[in-house]
Structure 1
Amino acid sequence: MLEIHYYGGGMAELLFRYPYVLNGLYFLPILLFLAFRHIARNAKLLPIIDGRPAKLRNFFQAIFAITAAASFIVALAEPFGVDKFKKPVWKGEVVDFVIDLSLSQNANDVKPSRLEVSKMAILEAADVFNKEGIATLCLAFFTVSFNRLLECTPDIDNFKSIVQRLDTALAGNMGGTNLLSAIPADYGMIREEVVPKNSRITLFLITDGGKEMFRDKLTGAVIASELDWKEDELRKKVVELSKSGIRVIPIGIGGTKPAPVIVDGETYYAMLDEKIIKKIASWSGSPERYFIMRDGADFGKWISDQILMNREVDYYRDESKETDLWRYPLLLGIFLASVAFGALGVVRKLVVW
């Protein structure tokens, strides 16, 4: 087996799938010698140009023909290159999506709806994670209580199928958003029993913040609904979670104006509370790490970027990639054969005798 090695950004080898075919190359020098001897001995039988036999031109034709044969033999042996490189294996990443499934997620101030946009972004991010080797994903939803839909799993297809089926009906078509219920309490168990040791857990909290209003039937005035949770308690939960090593990244979804939502036959108005989204980011220790999802925002890419940035390498794994090279000697052989047998007229132009 023929091997050619070079170094510089990696090591490469030139190999052949059928190396025994290369044995045919041993006969070519003999054929070339016999061709030269025949031309020299039979010069009188060669075409006459300007009163002299065309020896030189026939010598060149023989060289091109033998070289073309060598190229065809190499092509038949099917050469291929093997590039060897080191691929980083990252330390474990666990991504937990906790999504608001209150009825306000049916609002269409973000097209086609808040919930559908969230689902599309999660699916896009899941594909990127799968490609990058991040295969542990978790899924939960909340309204006034927390519900773990999918314990952390490496089954990306199952994860995606469940995301596609997300609907407010899963939460009983309930109104109201209790952000205290959005903070999972099962990370201790997940770390101990489910995910690889030393994995980094990132929580993406997707919500509009629970800012809701209704119109008073008597006065027509728009009145803000009372929150189902206390901000100070939420701050304590987020700070505690962050101190345990879990990254909390809030995602706000909604337009800039109140959007109508039907709850039990009554019309409510839901509006994105950007202030609480920014506060959660600040409590988690990274005030700039939040996202406001509106039309045109590439949320899926932003999610994947948050995970792919600042990853730590666990170790490097040897990988290789094969590249077929047989086309190159084949094309060279066709060209040389064309030259040798006068199809291109090259020899005739270069050598007149």
Structure 2
Amino acid sequence: MADIPVPAPSFAFSEVLDRIRRSAEYVVIPLLALAASAVLFSVFLLFLGKNPIDFYSLVWRGGFGTSFSWQNTLVRASPLILAGLCVAIPARLGMVVIGGEGALVLGGFAAAVIAIPMVAWSPAPLTLLMMMIAAMAVGGIWIGFVGYLRHYRGINETISSLLLSYIAVSILNFFVEGALRDPSDPNKPSTMPIGPDTMIGAIPGTSVHWGLVAGIIACIATWVLMNRTTFGFAARITGGNVRAAMAQGLPVGRLVLVSTALAGACAGLAGFFEVAAIHGKANASLIAGYGFTGILVSFLARHNPLAIIPVAIFLGGIDAAGGLVQRRMELPDATVQVLQGLMFLVLLVSETLYGRFSIFKAKGA
């Protein structure tokens, strides 16, 4: 009896190469955008009469060169991770929400306000739990309102979220400089302090607070939600084609509201850690621009929750080096913000390059 030939497996090595080639596009193009922005910023420094090599060496030393620099970088990366998620989650539905700064500010403000009456009688763990719930709830409602305006009123989410950010800052200033101002602090308008017993401690052996761990867990949970659940599948379908999603009977309105509420909750959680682990009260220090830098974090990570973590650490290191650059090169502390803005601009331009290079396409495509 003749041997029956066994068919060759359909999975070929060429298919693996094609997948790697297609995936490489989403790594190579952002890296090229970063390199191009570094070159353009070097030209800017030369016009100022500064040495670009000195600048980048100081950025490395101030952000990643020592153990102290690394810890300072991770402290700044913690809110950037959560602020990046505030942009990345709605982006899966095709929405560009840039108002994470407002949710972060109001979340931190809500956490400080709810702690004021509880500090005197409540145990610290319960106070911290209520602060976190309040911060996430306020942030979720704030950005969830953006989703409501987008789906049910047809208002552009980019504009509404940006305008709501300015309203959030005004609300903070109104109460901090008015009814909720601590009279014992004449220098800087602030709410009453939550007290050292209510502050969140650092991770043992470091000066990095637990917000970093919370951000990493949030990124992993978001990746699982968006890539391994029916909710995430429905969100991706909605982001690809809203009309097709509605034709298939998907609850588009609910998806929009839930996604924006989750995004706002992440930003509110960042505000909670800024109050409970850094400042100990709510004041203008909450308006640090983390929400706007989170836009760059999300776009540079291609809205991938797992990629947000290293990107946030990278940008946190650049931000942490601002003081060293200011002292050594006699440049304004905002110089690193100019670099970040240039990076964002070049990154947006690089979006037009996707799908244009044959080297990243599968054979026969």
Q: What TM-score does the superposition give when structure 1 sets the normalisation length?
A: 0.22
Q: Considering Cα pairs closer than 8 Å and 6+ residues apart, tell me whether 1 or 2 has the greater RCO.
A: 2
Of Structure 1 and Structure 2, which has the larger fraction of its residues in helix? 2
